[in-house]
Structure 1
Amino acid sequence: MSKTPIIEVINFGDELLVGIRDNSHLVYLGDQLARYGLPIQRSRVITDEKTEIQRAFLDAWEHSDIVITTGGLGPTADDMTRENVAEALGAELLFDQSILDAIEARFKLLGRKVAKHHEKQCYYFSGGEVLHNERGTAPGLLLRRDGKILIMLPGPTQELRPMFEKQAIPILQEMGVLSKEQAYVQLRTCGVGESSVEESLQPIFSNHPGLTVAYCVHYGIVDVRLSSRDGSLSLGQIKEIAHEARELLGEDFVCYGHCSLADVVFHELRALDRTLAVAESCTGGLLCDAFTNIPGSSKVFVGGVVCYCNDVKVSKVGVPEPILEQHGAVSPECAIAMASGIAERLSADYGISVTGFAGPEGGDEKNPVGTIHIGYHSPVGVWAKTVRYTGGRMDVKTRAVHAALDWVRRKLRKYKIEEFLSCGAED
């Protein structure tokens, strides 16, 4: 394709239109494609009805160079995307015995037998390719025809994502459609607002007219993406600008790329060969979840307790009852007691705690709704920090988790610097 290809995504499924499931596929695919310099130009969500499937597909096929579909490849009666698209294209579907063999092998491990309706997943386009499904039974499909590309992906997220990243992206890269290097450099920041980030970095960016800057904000995290839309700056030059920006950001800089705050804290603790425990109240397990999403996190994360009521704070975490009687469960004193208590109970080097009012009810004059107290226990001392947020309950909970992780990140990096300087002074 000599010109920049137009990409359209079609998400098939009645469950998307009636609100049973979020359309996370579009966000995911948009992010993945943009990383390699090819953003999505068009998208639509379509019902599972045959006429709508064919009408939407033919329109996309006429106006776009690459069409990506999600959903409708499974074994049930409403999974008819493959058949309807084939009919619309006038393409022949061929049976692939190896697909059925893979399904049978998978079901054998599960102690189940393959039903007749599973055979519908074993058909692929004549002249096309099969994308292996390592986590499910419905393979993906790829077809190159009329100078265009069709990629069909299964609906389940856990099946779609590895298939797209490990198979579809490499194929598109080999075809020259996607860049083999990421198209932008991203700086991730936390703890400072978007306008402040922009104001501090603008003196650097204004010196480079060919630089394209995009800001993305999510729950206290501000991502700054640097690219050169007109191609006047090389990737090497963009990296140099990013490094200059990093130096200016100081401790507000989290990382390059897309690492989570929990990832950064994990690697800092791993480098120190230290362990961490968590006690959380209003965040209800989100902080623990952030760590257990990291492969190998047991090397650092020893465990946690969701101590939502005061009795659990006392019995499971070791918060002294006088602390609760004198200061209340939502207080800096309780946060410190929770952090220290969980570190001692689980024999961890570090402890993090979160307590507060996530809303919409609760709160008082001293601690209004949105007040969050974070506790931090370390080998060199204990501290508490108070933040306040507005928004819905889930917004406050997510921002509280990010605030806790970001604070620990800053503390750990400061400790590492001080330890390094101390060692240097002794030498």
Structure 2
Amino acid sequence: MSKMPIVEVINFGDELLVGIRENSHLTYLGEQLARYGLPIHRSRVITDEASEIKRAFLDAWQHSDIVITTGGLGPTADDMTRENIAEALGAKLVFDAEIEALILARFKVLGRRMAAHHLKQCYRFAEGEVLHNERGTAPGLAYRSEGKILIMLPGPTHELTPMFEKQAVPMLQAMGVLSNEEAYVQLRTCGSGESTVEETMQPIVKAHPELTVAYCVHYGIVDVRLSPREGRMCMDQLKAIAHEARVLLGEDFVCFGHCSLATVVFHELRALDRTLAIAESCTGGMLCDAFTNLSGASKVFVGGVVCYCNDVKVSQVGVPESILEQHGAVSPECAVAMASGIAERLSSDYGLSVTGFAGPDGGNEQNPVGTIHLGYHSPVGVWCKTVRYTGGRLDVKARAVHAALDWMRRKLRKYKVEEFLCCGERD
């Protein structure tokens, strides 16, 4: 394709329209495709009704170069995307014995018998390709005709994600539709708002008019994406400018790319050969979850306690009752006691804690709703930090987790610098 292909995504499923399931596929596919320089132009969510499937697909097929669908490939009666799109295209579906063998093998591993209705998943386009499903029974499908490309993906996220990244992306790259390298360089920052980051970036923007700068904000993190305007810059030049930007961003710079804050903290602790334990209250396990999402986290993360009520803070974390009586559960003193207590109880080098009022109820004059106290215990001292956020309960909780991780990231990097300087003096 000599011109930029027009891409459309169609998400099929009644459950998306009635709010049973969140449509996260569009966000995911948009991010993945943009990473390789292929933005989505249009999207739509369509019911499982046969006439609507055909109408929506034919319209997309007429006006787009690449159509990506999600959902409707399973074994149930309402999974009719494959059949309806084949009819709309006038394309023949054929039974594939290899798909049947894979489904049978999967059921054997699960110790279950394959029901007859699963056989509908064994049909593919006669002139198309099969995308293997490593986490489910419904294979994805690919079809090409008259310079257009159709990619059909299953609905469950845990099935769609590896299929798209391991099979669809390489296929599109082999066709020359997607770039083999990322189309932009991303700098992840945390600690300053979007307007502050944008102001910091102004010297870079003014010095490089051939550069496009985009900002993406989520819960205290600001991603800065640098890309060439109309392709007038090679990737090496882009990376050089990104390193200039890193210097300007200072301590707010987290990493290049898409690593989570927990991943950065994990690598810092691994480099120090130290361990971490967590005590959290208002975040309800979200901070621990950030680490257990990482493969190999047990090398650093020893465990945590969700101490939501005061009795658990005392019995499981070791917070003195006197601190709760004098200062309350939402206080700097309690946060420090939680961090030190969990480090002692779980024999870790570092302790991190969160306590606060996530809202919408609670709070007082000293600690209004949105007040979060963070505690940090380390081999060289104990600290507390207080932050305040507005927004809904889930927003406050997510921002509190990022604040705790970012604070620890900064502390660990400062500690490494100080340790290096001390070693240098001894030498």
Q: Same fold by TM-score, threshold 0.5 exceeded?
A: yes
Q: Which residue of 2 aligns with 1:375?
A: 375
Q: Which residue of 2 aligns with 1:168?
A: 168
In structure 1, distance between residues paired with 2:416 and 2:139: 48
In structure 2, distance between residues paired with 1:116 and 1:103: 11
Task: Report the CA distance between 1:47 and its aligned residue.
Answer: 0.2
Q: Which residue of 2 aligns with 1:353?
A: 353
Q: Which residue of 2 aligns with 1:60?
A: 60
Q: Describe the superposition over 1:74-95 as per-residue Cα deviations: whole angstroms up to 9, x where unpaired.
A: 0000000000000000000011
Q: Describe the superposition over 1:202-223 as per-residue Cα deviations: whole angstroms up to 9, x where unpaired.
A: 0121111110000001010000
In structure 2, distance between residues paired with 1:197 and 1:391: 21
The count of corresponding residues between Structure 1 and Structure 2 is 427
Query: Which secondary structure does the structure 2 equivalent of 1:206 belong to?
Result: helix
In structure 2, distance between residues paired with 1:153 and 1:239: 34
Q: Which residue of 2 aligns with 1:215?
A: 215
Q: Which residue of 1 aligns with 2:403?
A: 403
Q: Which residue of 2 aligns with 1:82?
A: 82
> Is 1:317 equivalent to 2:329 in the alignment?
no
Choose 407-416 or 105-114, whichever is displaced more: 105-114
In structure 2, distance between residues paired with 1:225 and 1:66: 25
Letter in 2 for 1:218: H
Q: Which residue of 2 aligns with 1:188?
A: 188
Task: Report the CA distance between 1:16 and its aligned residue.
Answer: 0.3
Q: Which residue of 2 aligns with 1:329?
A: 329
Task: Report the CA distance between 1:146 and its aligned residue.
Answer: 1.0
Task: Report the CA distance between 1:425 and its aligned residue.
Answer: 1.4
Q: Describe the superposition over 1:320-367 as per-residue Cα deviations: whole angstroms up to 9, x where unpaired.
A: 111111111000000000000000000000000000000000000000
Counterparts in 2 of 1:103-122, with a 5 A limit? 103-122=103-122
Alignment TM-score, normalising by the size of structure 1: 1.00
In structure 2, distance between residues paired with 1:119 and 1:48: 20
Counterparts in 2 of 1:248-327, with a 5 A limit? 248-327=248-327
In structure 1, distance between residues paired with 2:98 and 2:80: 21
Q: Describe the superposition over 1:26-82 as per-residue Cα deviations: whole angstroms up to 9, x where unpaired.
A: 000000000000000010000000000000000000000000000000000000000
The gaps in structure 2 that reach 5 residues or longer are: none
Letter in 1 for 2:327: H
In structure 1, distance between residues paired with 2:366 and 2:378: 28
Q: Describe the superposition over 1:290-330 as per-residue Cα deviations: whole angstroms up to 9, x where unpaired.
A: 00000110000000000000000000000011111111100
In structure 1, distance between residues paired with 2:207 and 2:411: 34
In structure 1, distance between residues paired with 2:99 and 2:365: 64
Q: Which residue of 1 aligns with 2:234?
A: 234
Query: Which secondary structure does the structure 2 equivalent of 1:134 belong to?
Result: coil
Task: Report the CA distance between 1:424 and its aligned residue.
Answer: 1.3
Counterparts in 2 of 1:79-158, with a 5 A limit? 79-158=79-158
Letter in 2 for 1:128: G
Query: Which secondary structure does the structure 1 equivalent of 2:279 belong to?
Result: strand
In structure 2, distance between residues paired with 1:347 and 1:356: 25
Task: Report the CA distance between 1:229 and its aligned residue.
Answer: 2.9
RMSD over aligned Cα atoms: 0.5
Task: Report the CA distance between 1:191 and its aligned residue.
Answer: 0.6
In structure 2, distance between residues paired with 1:235 and 1:202: 21
Letter in 1 for 2:220: G
In structure 2, distance between residues paired with 1:21 and 1:335: 36
Query: Which secondary structure does the structure 1 equivalent of 2:245 belong to?
Result: helix
Query: Which secondary structure does the structure 2 equivalent of 1:106 belong to?
Result: helix
Alignment TM-score, normalising by the size of structure 2: 1.00
In structure 2, distance between residues paired with 1:72 and 1:101: 21
The gaps in structure 1 that reach 5 residues or longer are: none
In structure 2, distance between residues paired with 1:231 and 1:144: 28
In structure 1, distance between residues paired with 2:194 and 2:88: 47
Q: Which residue of 1 aligns with 2:3?
A: 3
CA 1:229 to 1:126, structure 2 compared with 1: closer, same or farther past 3 Å?
A: farther
